[in-house]
Amino acid sequence: MLASIQPLDRIALQLGPISIYWYGIIIALGAYLGLLLAVKETQRQGLPKETFVDLILWAVPIAIISARIYYVLFQWSYYKDNPGDIFAIWEGGIAIHGALIGSVITAIVFTRKRGLSFWKIADIAAPSILLGQAIGRWGNFMNQEAHGGPVTREFLENLMLPDFIVNQMYIDGTYYHPTFLYESLWNFAGVILLLVLQRTALKRGEIFLSYVIWYSFGRFFIEGLRTDSLMLTETLRVAQVISVVLIIVSIALIVYRRTKKSTKPYNEKV
């Protein structure tokens, strides 16, 4: 039975010499659904509906480039000898923390040029970003990457997973933790939480900072299960260190901004 298990085809469509990968399609789908969610909230907040369409035209390509640069820098020992692989993003290898850096910088410049509140836009975007991440992890699934350590088939079946997931976690003769799935489910739960928070009396910036805390908390523990982590040292995983730093900084910012009387409520449409 095990010998007959074949991974899912990573190529969704072949157009002559051009291969269209599921990885790219899934990432694009996550970005599109995130945009729809952001546009809906933008209209509820009384902002021009084209705000996020204009922003995403800049933010998505910059986020992908910065995510790739971040990944390549921490894997430079490999890419310095294989420079041609630097541009092969369809093979995977983009880091969400790099994408966030690029996205935040883009949003800061964009909001200043438009005369908008960065924190307001960040709060609107937070559930959309997390939704894109939740969907995007399934691109890792198709590439059989971002998985955890070895487990047994019985372990996976006891999680009540469908066969297509169990079989895709069979890689080179071994079953692995579906950490892509753990993170995807954690992120979907976070989307629901953030959508609820958008209807509460939080201050501007607190929904985005809550996103950072939620994602970082889950990522810290899930990262500990993974076998492909970017490493800062032999024992320190980059994503775990960054997650701890982001949690501390986000909590500090919430406390600090709560002391400022000028910080407006998120739902104030001014």
CA atoms within 13 A on the CB side of 101: 13
DSSP state of 169: T
DSSP state of 20: E
Separation in Å, CA 109 to CA 105, 113, 118, 158, 203: 6, 6, 9, 48, 22
Structure-block tokens of residue 104: 């935040």
In 3D space, the residue among 261, 240, 264, 31 whose CA is nearest the CA of residue 134 turns out to be 31
Evaluate whether 215 touches 147 at the Cβ level (below 8 Å).
Answer: no
Evaluate whether 96 touches 66 at the Cβ level (below 8 Å).
Answer: no
Q: Is 174 helix (H, G, I), strand (E, B) or coil?
A: strand
Q: Report the interhelical angle of 51-74 vs 96-114 (nearest 10°).
A: 140
CA dist 193 and 131 (Å) reads: 12
In 3D space, the residue among 127, 118, 172, 125 whose CA is nearest the CA of residue 150 turns out to be 172
Annotated binding site: 137
Separation in Å, CA 98 to CA 93, 129, 190: 11, 13, 20
